Amino acid sequence: MNKTLPLVFLLMAFLACRKRDTYSLDRQVLQNVVRDIHLADIVSQRHPSSYRDSLRQAYLEQIMKIHGVNSEDVFHDLKLLQSDLELLDTLYQGILQEQDSLLKLHRYALN
């Protein structure tokens, strides 16, 4: 028993310090957050450069609030996406399909 106790503590310490390599957010939530971050970036580009950083921060805080997520989870998932090109492509395809559907709906409403 005395010999296994240190091993148990070592295992617990290892598991506690281990990097998370799984996504924190649901795929659809992550897709919506990525979409909104891009939209916020586009909107902030229309303002003078001296305001952009502040605007981006304010937009990011609103995005987190709207989607009920925290910045730690979002930044963790965005970092994982940098090396997960398959999921990144899937997310962007979903965003494009969503935007295409909205555009078609808008065109239909105008007719």
| Radius of gyration over every alpha carbon of the chain, rounded to an integer in angstroms | 20
User: Hey, what are 10's tokens?
Assistant: 């070592």
Rounded Cα gap, residues 88 and 35, in angstroms: 12
Enter the tokens of residue 92.
């962007």
Q: What is the pLDDT of residue 12?
A: 57
Mean pLDDT of 66-93: 96
Buried b (16+ CB within 10 A) or exposed e, 36-70: bbeebeeebeeeeeeeeeebbeebbeebbeebebe
pLDDT greater than 80 at residue 6:
no
Single pTM value for the model: 0.75
Separation of alpha carbons 88 and 94, rounded Å: 10
Q: Of 46, 38, 40, 31, give the one whose Cα is nearest residue 92.
A: 31
Domain boundary assignment for the chain: 22-110
pLDDT digits (tens, 9 = 90+) for 19-67: 557 999 999 999 999 999 999 999 999 999 998 899 999 999 999 999 9
Say what the pLDDT of residue 21 is. Answer: 79
Taking residues 70-96, report their average pLDDT. 96
More confident residue, 2 or 83: 83
More confident residue, 70 or 10: 70
